[in-house]
Amino acid sequence: MKVTEHLASAKKPVITFEIIPPLRGGNVTNLMALIDDLVHYEPPFIDITSHAAQVVYEETRDGIKRKVKRKRPGTIGICALIQNKYKIDAVPHAICTGFTREETEDFLIELNYLGIDNVLAVKGDDSGFRKTPRDGKSVNDSALDLVSQITDLNHGKYLEDGLLDAQPTDFGVGVSGYPEKHFAAPNLESDLRNTEAKIAAGADYIVTQMFFDNSHYFEYVDKCRERGIDVPIIPGLKVLVGKKQLRTLPEMFHCEIPVELADEVEAATEREHVIEIGASWAARQVEELLDRGAPSIHFYVMLNAKAVQRVMGKLDL
């Protein structure tokens, strides 16, 4: 079932989650325990991130060596686990960074075979690794290119011409939105134009980057609607759980942390107090977002559900 169909048919507030595959060699038992915790809240779908190879530098007897490693494989396997064991729609992320268009097509074909109905198309983080296409292969330079490739597959257009009995896929396509603008965009107007282009290319819904001030989300939705972007815009939230995140979250995700929240966290003397502050703040965000018409709430969970559990315990849903 497509994400947009879940949202349209929901009889109660929709709460969904995004998780990350464990590191190479990680224990699937821990991942299943995480999903067991999340299933309690009846999410209609769960997002699974994808990861390209990364450049790492290791000290050896012969000096510093540059190596390329894929640290978090497993997106397809986790999708199969979620769909077949838990009967929840899996939404894998398709990324541009580190993959050729040919590899992306194979990835999408495998998802289609698994019965995956949705995919989130994102450019992907800079891992320091740039794949050099060879033998006539090509790459997607942007999420817009990726959306176009998925839309082509939905129309039965594969990279190889003349395929016999080529069947169209039927993916619902999500894209990212940036209430505080994408860090690489010169301004919010330029970023909105890019979002508009992704919708025109075939995207069905938007999931926002994390934010801690709801006014950014409401202003972003208004600006999208003014441009004629009428797809669902799902707010993405992160629960702040440590003082270090006052620096790392703005640095990595280019989001502002309000003075009130930052001051309260800085004044906390124990980690448990910080978690309580972050959970209370997120719970208030959720209540206001749902009261003012947000179509659902999407939590960036990664590999630990404890903070989200704390938030959910504060809500009457």
φ and ψ of 313, to 5 deg: -65, -15
In percent, the amount of the chain with pLDDT more than 90 equals 82
What pLDDT is recorded for position 315? 96
If you search the block for the tokens 């595959």, which residue do you land on? 21
pLDDT tens digit sequence for 235-259: 999 999 999 999 999 999 999 999 9
Enter the pTM of the model: 0.93
Q: Rounded to whole angstroms, what are the CA distances from 304 to 53, 118, 235, 280?
A: 23, 24, 20, 17
β-pairing, 63-69 vs 54-60, is: antiparallel
Domain ranges of the chain: 3-312
Query: What is the C-alpha to C-alpha distance for residues 269 and 258, in angstroms, rounded to an integer?
Result: 19
Q: What is the second-level CATH architecture of the domain 3-312?
A: Alpha-Beta Barrel (3.20)
pLDDT tens digit sequence for 152-162: 999 999 998 87
Cβ atoms within 10 Å, residue 165: 5
Q: Rounded mean pLDDT of 154-179?
A: 93
Give me the amino acid identity at 21.
P
pLDDT tens digit sequence for 50-106: 988 656 566 666 667 666 667 788 999 999 999 999 999 999 999 998 899 999 999
